């Protein structure tokens, strides 16, 4: 039940975000005097609508987005009433059209920024000094945090009554103890501890040296078994390895909380990190298509492959089911930021395509005026339709591919 609730909540959050995206277009268009005739949440058959002034507001039967109709978005629109010609969008200055067309993405950015600021002052944002890679983590001192159990499989989940108890807890080790040796092998950092554990078999007894409050000590315990990939190949085949039932206890916290003022700077810094991450993720999309196909045809799903709204909603469901609300809201932030950036790509029918054409027209008019030639006028959108259809076809195929992968072989972060 909690999983389904999480799926519904995340899907609802996405729907609200997209509806606000369209509301951003509508609000800015109305502010500049453009005529907006329709604003609907959803697509398909109309379930409810009402007329307020010159705009019809309503809800449609397929809750997969929304739209608003601005009169005369392009000079080729043939449904503009002659009385509305002066208010046609394409007649307005380019800077006004740019604001209207970018208002949707700005809304997504605003949602992400507000959510990040609230998280910064309430539960904290990821600490930039916290080890972010396995290599960095393994260089940390082998200070341990006890796990309540050892999960036998290679998944992240809560402990159950059937899971074996943590061998470290049975050996009377405590949170904050620093492991210094295992079976006589010196342990200088957490990477050394992992290497030493891989050198013994599950079920073997291990002699453990440690330091607690500055005082050395020794203990012993029988190691449990779990499944892990090779240390030098995190994406390799998992196999049985010995487990002590501990995790690293880093000297720096994973998250940092900020005051109301400091949260603005922290939010800006984290947004910059997201911008870089989004750029890198978008660059990798073409090379991830074969991995998606592999996942659909029975291969293992790479956690680094793109996900659709379906996949994001499923992850939201997992987050709620495992009481990982921090992950839920981080997914919400990341998705809004990604949609905001993606929508600004200079490709039709995306908003960024309309913005690019508007500025192309402006630059071309300026250049022709400088060289004494007649203004060529507006771009003919009809001539761009083949390119627009190609973008729609490619985008639709990719969306279908990700949705299929998310249904057949979804990414999971927790064991259900």
Q: How many residues does the chain have?
A: 416
Give the range of the structural domain holding residue 177, as residue numbers without chain letter. 134-248
Position 71 in a domain? no
pLDDT of 151 reads 84
What are 202's two structure tokens?
């599950």
Position 223 in a domain? yes
72 DSSP β-pair partners:
none
| pLDDT band, very low/low/confident/very high, at 2 (cuts 50, 70, 90) | confident
237 pLDDT more than 90: no
pLDDT of 133 reads 65
Residue pair 44/127 in contact (Cβ under 8 Å)? The answer is no
Q: CA–CA distance from 139 to each of 181, 185, 208, 287 (Å)?
A: 16, 17, 20, 31
Position 147 in a domain? yes
CA of residue 225 relative to chain centroid, distance: 33
Position 381 in a domain? no
For the residues 236-240, what does the mean pLDDT come to? 84
pTM of the model: 0.82
For the residues 174-186, what does the mean pLDDT come to? 92
pLDDT of 47 reads 93
Position 233 in a domain? yes
What are 94's two structure tokens?
């380019």
| pLDDT band, very low/low/confident/very high, at 92 (cuts 50, 70, 90) | very high
List Cβ neighbours of 35 (8 Å cut-off, separation of 6 or more).
29, 54, 70, 71, 84, 87, 88
Count of the separate structural domains present in the chain: 1
CATH number for the domain that contains residue 227: 2.30.42.10
**How far apart (Å, rounded) are the C-alpha atoms in residues 392 and 316?**
27
Catalytic residue among 22, 318, 321, 361: 22
The SS3 of residue 413 is coil
Paired sense of beta strands 144-146 and 205-212, if any:
unpaired
Residue pair 104/345 in contact (Cβ under 8 Å)? The answer is no
According to DSSP, residue 414 is labeled: S
List Cβ neighbours of 96 (8 Å cut-off, separation of 6 or more).
32
By CB atoms closer than 10 A (0-12, 13-18, 19+), residue 384 is middle
Q: Taking the C-alpha atoms of 246, 251, 254 and 256 in order, what is their torsion angle to the nearest 10 degrees?
A: 150
Main-chain phi, psi angles of 189, to 5 degrees: -150, 180
pLDDT of 358 reads 94
Residue pair 151/410 in contact (Cβ under 8 Å)? The answer is no
pLDDT of 415 reads 57
Position 237 in a domain? yes
For the residues 307-317, what does the mean pLDDT come to? 91
pLDDT of 249 reads 83
Mean pLDDT over each residue of the chain, to the nearest integer: 90
**How far apart (Å, rounded) are the C-alpha atoms in residues 30 and 40?**
16
| pLDDT band, very low/low/confident/very high, at 323 (cuts 50, 70, 90) | confident
**How far apart (Å, rounded) are the C-alpha atoms in residues 20 and 32?**
18
**How far apart (Å, rounded) are the C-alpha atoms in residues 406 and 400?**
10
CA of residue 194 relative to chain centroid, distance: 30
205: nearest Cα among 190, 187, 183: 183
198: nearest Cα among 210, 211, 209, 185: 185
pLDDT of 238 reads 84
Residue pair 92/302 in contact (Cβ under 8 Å)? The answer is no
Main-chain phi, psi angles of 35, to 5 degrees: -95, 125
Position 35 in a domain? no
Residue pair 256/119 in contact (Cβ under 8 Å)? The answer is no
Position 175 in a domain? yes
What are 281's two structure tokens?
């993720």
416 pLDDT more than 60: no
According to DSSP, residue 164 is labeled: P
Element (DSSP H or E) covering residue 66: strand 55-70
Residue 22 falls in the annotated catalytic set:
yes
């Amino acid at each position: 039940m909690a999983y389904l609730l999480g799926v519904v909540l995340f899907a609802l959050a996405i729907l609200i975000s997209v509806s606000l995206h369209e509301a951003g277009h509508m609000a800015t268009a109305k502010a500049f005097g453009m005529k907006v005739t329709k604003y609907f949440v959803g697509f398909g058959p109309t379930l409810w609508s009402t007329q307020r002034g010159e705009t019809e507001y309503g809800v449609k039967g397929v809750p997969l987005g929304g739209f608003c109709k601005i009169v005369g978005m392009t000079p080729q629109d043939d449904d503009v009433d002659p009385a509305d010609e002066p208010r046609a969008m394409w007649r307005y200055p380019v800077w006004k059209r740019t604001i209207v067309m970018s208002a949707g993405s700005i809304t997504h950015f605003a949602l992400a920024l507000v959510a990040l600021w609230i998280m910064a002052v309430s539960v904290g944002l990821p600490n930039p000094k916290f080890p972010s890679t396995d290599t960095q983590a393994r260089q940390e001192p082998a200070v341990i945090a006890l796990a309540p159990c050892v999960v036998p499989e290679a998944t992240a989940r809560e402990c159950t009554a059937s899971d074996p108890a943590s061998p470290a807890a049975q050996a009377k080790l405590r949170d904050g103890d620093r492991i210094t040796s295992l079976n006589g092998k010196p342990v200088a950092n957490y990477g050394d501890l992992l290497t030493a554990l891989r050198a013994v078999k599950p079920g073997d007894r291990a002699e453990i040296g440690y330091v607690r409050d500055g005082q050395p000590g020794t203990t012993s315990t029988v190691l449990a078994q779990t499944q892990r990939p090779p240390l030098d190949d995190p994406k390799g085949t998992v196999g049985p390895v010995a487990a002590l039932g501990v995790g690293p206890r880093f000297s720096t916290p994973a998250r940092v909380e900020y005051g109301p003022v400091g949260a603005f700077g922290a939010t800006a810094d984290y947004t910059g990190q997201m911008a870089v991450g989004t750029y890198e993720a978008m660059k990798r999309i073409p090379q991830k298509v074969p991995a998606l196909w592999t996942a659909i045809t029975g291969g293992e799903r790479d956690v680094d492959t793109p996900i659709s709204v379906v996949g994001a909603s499923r992850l939201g469901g997992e987050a709620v089911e495992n009481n990982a609300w921090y992950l839920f809201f981080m997914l919400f932030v990341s998705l809004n930021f990604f949609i905001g950036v993606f929508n600004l790509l200079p490709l039709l029918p995306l908003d960024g395509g309309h913005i690019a054409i508007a500025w192309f027209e402006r630059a071309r008019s300026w250049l022709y005026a400088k060289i004494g030639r007649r203004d060529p006028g507006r771009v003919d959108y009809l001539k761009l339709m083949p390119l627009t259809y190609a973008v729609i076809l490619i985008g639709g195929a990719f969306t279908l591919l990700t949705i299929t992968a998310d249904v057949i072989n979804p990414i999971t972060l927790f064991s259900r």
